[in-house]
Amino acid sequence: MQDLLALRDLSSAEVTQLLDLAQTIKQRPSAWQNHLQGKSIALLFEKPSLRTRASFAAGIHRLGGHSIYLDAANLMGSREPAADVGANLALWHDAIVARVFSQATLDELAQASDKPVINALSDICHPCQAMADLLTLTEQLGDLSNVTLTYFGDGNNVCQGLMSGAALVGMTLQIVTPKGYEPDTEALAHAQSVAATNGGSVTLHHDFTDLQQTHAIYTDTWFSMGQERDSNTVMHDFAPFQVNMDLMQQLGASYFMHCLPAYRGREVTAEVIDGPQSLVLHQAENRLHAQNAILVELLAGAKA
């Protein structure tokens, strides 16, 4: 691993290795407290963030490293191209964690930097979230090849990260979206091909018929950052896809997942997200451990 720009760039073995490492770091934190001693990580963010920013900063500190937060909205773009930002940051820092509007910005940063670049969210993928989700499911259910996950909502960056992750570990993933809100066609086809190779499946649905029973249900906000959509149209199109207790029971789901922030009464009811079946805080906690594993692996590769 030189960079982590999209989860689909990894192999199944690399994803499994990261999950194993994340569990090890989580269980034995003291053994890793000096692993990034003397290392500095730049957190370059175009979008606002709670979990990503706070978990990376805390995680880097726990590994013995240092981080600096940079508001990319005031640094990159009209003021200075991403290539110049990436080349300069690589002079002073050992890795760049970038949360951006466009995947093209990540590519430009990575091409200009000889240090690892990590996608902390882009328009096409949220790999750090997906790795935390896989870690959470592993802790709750064990062997992921035996797990069925059903995603309801927008075929956005979170959905596309889940597609890649599920495919790489051989999971069964059912994606249920309103018509017109599907994930990228090529990304879906790629995930379906990889899943088939690993004994899993990724299927796309537009209603609740033909859905098999599931271990967990996942949803996300109906309005993703950076998207311009008519709110009335979105609310109308997504209303039938709200996750509530009836849906949880209909599909036999034991767990509920959401990457947050969540809007109670919209994509999910309070009864579901605040109930005992909710894993949302487990997912949020595991962002730190999954990301620490990514940092350890990338910086180890950078030393080679």
The residues assigned a catalytic role are 99, 126, 129, 220, 259, 287
Nearest residue to 117 (alpha-carbon basis) of 256, 38, 6, 214: 6
Question: Which bin fits 94, alpha (ψ -120 to 50), beta or left (φ > 0)?
Answer: alpha
Q: Rounded distance, CA 172 to CA 211, Å? A: 11
Q: What is the number of other CB atoms lying within 10 angstroms of the CB of residue 144?
A: 23
CB 110 within 8 A of CB 5: yes
What are the residues whose beta carbons fall under 8 Å from the beta carbon of 228, sequence distance 6 or more? Answer: none
